[in-house]
Amino acid sequence: MDTGRKAQVVVIPYPAQGHINPTLAFAKSLASKGLLVAFVTTTSISKSANFSDCASLTLHTVSNGSEHVEGTETTEADFNRLRCKFSTNLADYIDGHMRGARAIIYDSVMPWMLDIAKNCMIYEMCFHA
């Protein structure tokens, strides 16, 4: 990624119906303005969603641990797993692959993203889908 000439923005939607498409549209709008945008979602969502190509937008996947879940789980258990597993894996991913990131834009349903942004020393912005 060319972070020398363009700002790199990481956009993270809440991985649920009704959150991905508005966040993706916002990410594409940012990319159309010349920003290099990394759209990060869970591995499980990336398998079922349809992401069209955009030159300045790249799709990145991070595990939320759902591949290890057997059977069904409550919404609360899913949310807690997302908060713990996805957050840990995301912080590691950003640290290893997106050191040039200037901003994290995240869904307001995930306020703990603020901590990740601070730990990675990245400016944060909350997005209400």
Mind telling me the catalytic residues? 19, 107
- Which of 58, 65, 60, 54 has its CA nearest to residue 94? 60
**CA–centroid distance for 41 within its chain:** 5
Q: Using CA atoms, how far apart are residues 119 and 34, in angstroms rounded to an integer?
A: 27
Residues with Cβ within 8 Å of 91's Cβ and at least 6 positions away in sequence, in order, are: 116, 119, 120
DSSP characters for 94-109?
HHHH-TT--EEEEETT
Q: What is the DSSP letter of 90?
A: H
Helix, strand and coil content of the chain, in percent to the nearest 5, comes to 40, 20, 35
